[in-house]
Amino acid sequence: MAQGSPRVAVLMGSKSDWEQMKAAVDALEKLGVGCDVRVISAHRTPERHAAYVSAAREKGIEIFICGAGFAAHLAGVTAALTSLPVLGVPLDSSALDGLDALLATVQMPGGIPVATFGIGKAGAKNAGLFAGAILAGRDPDVAKKLDELRAQQTADVPETPFD
Ligand code: RP5
Protein backbone atom coordinates (compact mmCIF):
# COMPACT_ATOMS: atom_id res chain seq x y z
CA MET A 1 0.00 0.00 0.00
CA ALA A 2 1.01 3.59 -0.51
CA GLN A 3 2.93 5.31 2.27
CA GLY A 4 1.74 8.17 4.47
CA SER A 5 -1.66 9.06 5.81
CA PRO A 6 -4.36 8.50 3.19
CA ARG A 7 -5.18 11.51 1.01
CA VAL A 8 -7.00 9.59 -1.72
CA ALA A 9 -9.83 7.12 -1.20
CA VAL A 10 -9.84 4.34 -3.80
CA LEU A 11 -13.26 2.71 -3.78
CA MET A 12 -14.42 -0.23 -5.87
CA GLY A 13 -17.80 -1.89 -6.13
CA SER A 14 -16.53 -5.44 -5.69
CA LYS A 15 -13.45 -7.39 -4.70
CA SER A 16 -13.52 -8.64 -8.31
CA ASP A 17 -12.64 -5.07 -9.40
CA TRP A 18 -9.27 -5.12 -7.65
CA GLU A 19 -7.29 -6.50 -10.61
CA GLN A 20 -8.23 -3.40 -12.63
CA MET A 21 -8.23 -0.86 -9.78
CA LYS A 22 -4.77 -1.89 -8.54
CA ALA A 23 -3.39 0.29 -11.36
CA ALA A 24 -4.69 3.40 -9.57
CA VAL A 25 -3.05 2.38 -6.31
CA ASP A 26 0.23 1.57 -8.09
CA ALA A 27 0.26 5.05 -9.66
CA LEU A 28 -0.42 6.72 -6.31
CA GLU A 29 2.34 4.67 -4.69
CA LYS A 30 4.81 5.87 -7.32
CA LEU A 31 3.89 9.44 -6.39
CA GLY A 32 4.21 8.74 -2.67
CA VAL A 33 0.54 9.52 -2.11
CA GLY A 34 -1.15 7.54 0.65
CA CYS A 35 -4.49 5.98 -0.19
CA ASP A 36 -7.26 4.15 1.59
CA VAL A 37 -8.54 1.23 -0.50
CA ARG A 38 -12.06 -0.05 0.12
CA VAL A 39 -14.70 -2.34 -1.35
CA ILE A 40 -17.86 -0.26 -1.20
CA SER A 41 -20.86 -0.76 -3.43
CA ALA A 42 -23.49 1.90 -4.07
CA HIS A 43 -25.95 -0.96 -4.65
CA ARG A 44 -24.93 -3.70 -2.23
CA THR A 45 -23.57 -1.65 0.70
CA PRO A 46 -25.35 1.71 0.51
CA GLU A 47 -25.07 2.39 4.24
CA ARG A 48 -21.34 1.60 4.32
CA HIS A 49 -20.99 3.93 1.34
CA ALA A 50 -22.78 6.88 2.92
CA ALA A 51 -20.98 6.43 6.25
CA TYR A 52 -17.54 6.24 4.63
CA VAL A 53 -18.02 9.26 2.37
CA SER A 54 -19.47 11.46 5.08
CA ALA A 55 -16.50 10.76 7.41
CA ALA A 56 -13.80 10.96 4.74
CA ARG A 57 -12.97 14.67 4.65
CA GLU A 58 -12.39 14.78 8.39
CA LYS A 59 -10.04 11.79 8.08
CA GLY A 60 -7.91 13.74 5.57
CA ILE A 61 -9.26 12.37 2.29
CA GLU A 62 -8.95 14.99 -0.47
CA ILE A 63 -9.95 13.03 -3.58
CA PHE A 64 -12.06 9.96 -4.38
CA ILE A 65 -11.29 7.46 -7.13
CA CYS A 66 -14.28 5.20 -7.72
CA GLY A 67 -14.22 2.14 -9.97
CA ALA A 68 -17.27 0.06 -10.78
CA GLY A 69 -18.69 -2.09 -13.54
CA PHE A 70 -22.19 -2.85 -14.88
CA ALA A 71 -24.70 -0.05 -14.05
CA ALA A 72 -21.93 1.82 -12.29
CA HIS A 73 -23.36 4.23 -9.74
CA LEU A 74 -20.45 4.28 -7.29
CA ALA A 75 -18.78 7.44 -8.62
CA GLY A 76 -22.03 9.30 -9.16
CA VAL A 77 -23.46 8.55 -5.74
CA THR A 78 -20.12 9.39 -4.12
CA ALA A 79 -20.22 12.75 -5.91
CA ALA A 80 -23.76 13.23 -4.64
CA LEU A 81 -22.52 12.71 -1.07
CA THR A 82 -19.43 14.97 -1.13
CA SER A 83 -18.11 18.08 -2.84
CA LEU A 84 -14.57 16.63 -2.89
CA PRO A 85 -13.33 15.78 -6.41
CA VAL A 86 -14.56 12.38 -7.64
CA LEU A 87 -12.68 10.54 -10.39
CA GLY A 88 -14.72 7.74 -11.95
CA VAL A 89 -13.26 4.63 -13.54
CA PRO A 90 -15.65 2.49 -15.59
CA LEU A 91 -14.68 -1.18 -15.29
CA ASP A 92 -14.89 -4.02 -17.76
CA SER A 93 -16.81 -6.66 -15.85
CA SER A 94 -19.98 -7.27 -17.84
CA ALA A 95 -21.10 -8.65 -21.18
CA LEU A 96 -20.92 -5.08 -22.52
CA ASP A 97 -17.14 -4.86 -21.86
CA GLY A 98 -17.43 -1.75 -19.69
CA LEU A 99 -19.41 0.37 -22.16
CA ASP A 100 -22.37 0.22 -19.77
CA ALA A 101 -20.18 1.42 -16.89
CA LEU A 102 -18.63 4.15 -19.06
CA LEU A 103 -22.01 5.63 -19.95
CA ALA A 104 -23.33 5.29 -16.41
CA THR A 105 -20.25 7.04 -15.00
CA VAL A 106 -19.77 9.79 -17.56
CA GLN A 107 -23.39 10.83 -18.11
CA MET A 108 -23.88 12.76 -14.89
CA PRO A 109 -26.67 15.32 -14.65
CA GLY A 110 -25.52 18.93 -14.42
CA GLY A 111 -24.55 19.96 -10.90
CA ILE A 112 -22.91 16.73 -9.71
CA PRO A 113 -19.63 16.33 -11.62
CA VAL A 114 -17.63 13.12 -11.98
CA ALA A 115 -14.34 13.31 -13.91
CA THR A 116 -14.56 10.11 -15.94
CA PHE A 117 -11.60 8.11 -17.21
CA GLY A 118 -11.16 5.33 -19.74
CA ILE A 119 -12.40 1.79 -19.21
CA GLY A 120 -10.36 -0.60 -17.09
CA LYS A 121 -6.68 -0.64 -16.11
CA ALA A 122 -5.54 2.32 -18.23
CA GLY A 123 -8.37 4.43 -16.85
CA ALA A 124 -7.51 3.39 -13.30
CA LYS A 125 -3.83 4.24 -13.87
CA ASN A 126 -4.74 7.64 -15.31
CA ALA A 127 -7.13 8.35 -12.44
CA GLY A 128 -4.27 7.70 -10.01
CA LEU A 129 -1.95 9.98 -11.98
CA PHE A 130 -4.63 12.64 -12.26
CA ALA A 131 -5.25 12.55 -8.51
CA GLY A 132 -1.51 13.11 -8.17
CA ALA A 133 -1.70 16.06 -10.58
CA ILE A 134 -4.45 17.64 -8.48
CA LEU A 135 -2.41 17.21 -5.30
CA ALA A 136 0.75 18.45 -7.07
CA GLY A 137 -0.85 21.89 -7.29
CA ARG A 138 -0.47 22.25 -3.54
CA ASP A 139 2.29 19.74 -2.75
CA PRO A 140 5.76 20.27 -4.24
CA ASP A 141 6.91 16.73 -3.31
CA VAL A 142 4.13 15.18 -5.36
CA ALA A 143 4.80 17.65 -8.20
CA LYS A 144 8.48 16.62 -8.27
CA LYS A 145 7.64 12.90 -8.31
CA LEU A 146 5.08 13.42 -11.06
CA ASP A 147 7.61 15.30 -13.21
CA GLU A 148 10.21 12.57 -12.62
CA LEU A 149 7.71 9.87 -13.55
CA ARG A 150 6.85 11.66 -16.79
CA ALA A 151 10.54 12.18 -17.64
CA GLN A 152 11.26 8.48 -17.03
CA GLN A 153 8.29 7.49 -19.17
CA THR A 154 9.65 9.60 -22.02
CA ALA A 155 13.17 8.18 -21.57
CA ASP A 156 11.77 4.63 -21.73
CA VAL A 157 10.36 5.07 -25.25
CA PRO A 158 12.76 3.42 -27.73
CA GLU A 159 13.77 5.15 -30.97
CA THR A 160 12.80 2.08 -33.00
CA PRO A 161 10.80 -1.09 -32.24
CA PHE A 162 14.06 -3.09 -32.36
CA ASP A 163 15.75 -1.29 -29.45
C1 RP5 B 1 -20.27 -3.91 -9.93
O2 RP5 B 1 -20.62 -5.18 -10.35
C3 RP5 B 1 -18.88 -4.08 -9.40
O4 RP5 B 1 -18.19 -2.85 -9.45
C5 RP5 B 1 -18.26 -5.10 -10.30
O6 RP5 B 1 -17.57 -4.51 -11.38
C7 RP5 B 1 -19.48 -5.83 -10.85
C8 RP5 B 1 -19.51 -7.29 -10.55
O9 RP5 B 1 -19.38 -7.53 -9.18
P10 RP5 B 1 -19.32 -9.02 -8.63
O11 RP5 B 1 -20.59 -9.68 -9.03
O12 RP5 B 1 -18.09 -9.65 -9.27
O13 RP5 B 1 -19.14 -8.87 -7.14
O14 RP5 B 1 -21.12 -3.42 -8.97
pLDDT attached to residue 102: 98
Name the residue among 163, 134, 160, 121 with its Cα closest to residue 31: 134
**Residues 6 or more apart whose Cβ sits within 8 Å of residue 160:** none
CA 13 – ligand 1 centroid, Å = 6
Closest CA to ligand 1's atom 9: 14
Name the residue among 40, 48, 65, 77 with its Cα closest to residue 116: 65
Rounded mean pLDDT for each run of 10 residues along the chain, 163 residues in total:
80 98 98 98 98 98 98 98 98 98 98 98 98 98 98 98 94
| Type of residue numbered 141 | D
Look at residue 8 and give its three-state secondary structure. Answer: strand
Distance of alpha carbon 35 from alpha carbon 90, whole angstroms:
19
Question: Count of alpha carbons within 13 Å of 7, Cβ hemisphere only?
Answer: 19
pLDDT attached to residue 2: 43
Closest CA to ligand 1's atom 12: 16
